[in-house]
Amino acid sequence: MAFFRIGVFQFAPAFGEVDKNLARVEKAVEASERADLVVLPELFATGYQFVSHAEVGKLAEPVPGGPTTQFLLRLAKERCCVVVGGLAEKDGEAVYNAAVSVGSNGVLALYRKIHLFAEETVWFRPGDRPLPVFEARGTRVGIMVCFDWRFPEAARTLTLRGTDILAHPANLVHPHCPDAMVTRSLENRVFSATANRTGAEERGGKEKISFTGRSQVVSPEGERLIAMDAEEENFRVVEIDPALARDKHVTPQNDILRDRRPEFYER
Ligand code: ACM
């Protein structure tokens, strides 16, 4: 299996300034070495702290017709890569906290976050589709969004569906996720790429939200191949061997998928 390059972009999107945020992504990706897969944060084009349904409705976009997906399609074509990024998706009257995956030939997957966090439950409908796995250059990429990390079932389901790399757009506010994602990688023997945002938002008289940064790429052995700090704004790329995620052995006798005992996991 060929080597594969994963890039993660950590930055502080400006709330509501979609054009500016898209331009920042473009500049960072263009200035960097090429990646096969680029992972961007959750809600990277809009920012996070919405204050009204009208605001969410105005900033949410249809997929693939909206400006953010169209921008990602152009970026994917120009850079010959696949991009996964989080966005507010509008489908008729419904608005979802979604993540889209696009390649040079179009949209590969659309995921609507199934575990909404805190006030997201006010603004978004819960996801209504399965956790998706798609193929990029022979490598299988699964998508989960931010708070999905608290539910080990999400990463395990993606693993059982054949994922080699967990693409994980995030807007994290709790400190435990980077360590938990090391465990998600270890317990599933998959790579994980968490693209978190940094900075803070304090809008409409609401409590300030500080985002925790520390974006990372973790190997199936639990090694951090990229580890950003809490504040840096950076696009970093690492080369991996996806074949490592296809070998589920942890000892010659133990294969962590084959050794599962689902008959004992029923309640
Ligand atoms: C989160 O799911 N944005 C914490």
Averaged over successive runs of 10 residues, the pLDDT of the chain (267 residues) comes to 93 98 97 96 98 97 98 97 98 97 97 98 98 97 98 98 98 96 98 98 96 98 98 98 97 98 93
The secondary structure of residue 251, as a DSSP letter, is E
Q: Which residues pair with 235 in a beta bridge?
A: 9
CA 43–ligand 1 middle distance (angstroms) = 10
Q: Please tell me which residue in 81, 146, 177, 201 is annotated as part of the active site.
A: 146
pLDDT value of residue 2: 85
Residue 147 in contact with ligand 1 by CB distance below 6 A: yes
Q: Please tell me which residue in 81, 89, 90, 113 is annotated as part of the active site.
A: 113
CA 12–ligand 1 middle distance (angstroms) = 15
Instruction: Please say whether the beta carbons of 209 and 191 come within 8 A.
Output: no
CA 244–ligand 1 middle distance (angstroms) = 29
Residue for token pair 């029923």 = 266
Amino acid at 169: P
Residue 97 in contact with ligand 1 by CB distance below 6 A: no
Structure tokens at 229: 């700090």
Q: Please tell me the distance from the alpha carbon of residue 183 to that of residue 177, in angstroms, as a whole number.
A: 10
Distance in angstroms between the alpha carbons of the first and the last residue of the chain: 39
Q: Which atom of ligand 1 is nearest to the CA of 113?
A: 2
Q: Please tell me the distance from the alpha carbon of residue 201 to that of residue 215, in angstroms, as a whole number.
A: 18
pLDDT value of residue 266: 87
Residue 173 in contact with ligand 1 by CB distance below 6 A: yes
Residue for token pair 């299996």 = 1
Residue 160 in contact with ligand 1 by CB distance below 6 A: no
Structure tokens at 127: 């996801």
Residue 123 in contact with ligand 1 by CB distance below 6 A: no
pLDDT value of residue 13: 98
Q: Please tell me the distance from the alpha carbon of residue 104 to that of residue 170, in angstroms, as a whole number.
A: 24
- Say if residue 64 is preceded by a cis peptide, omega within 30 of 0: yes
pLDDT value of residue 197: 98
Model confidence, pTM: 0.98
Ligand 1, atom 2: closest residue by C-alpha: 147
Residue for token pair 């956790």 = 131
- For 264, the 3-state DSSP assignment is helix
Find, among 161, 164, 166, 171, the residue nearest to 181 by Cα.
166
Burial class (CB in 10 A: 0-12, 13-18, 19+), 158: buried
263 vs 152, 255, 259, 266, CA distance in Å?
18, 17, 12, 6
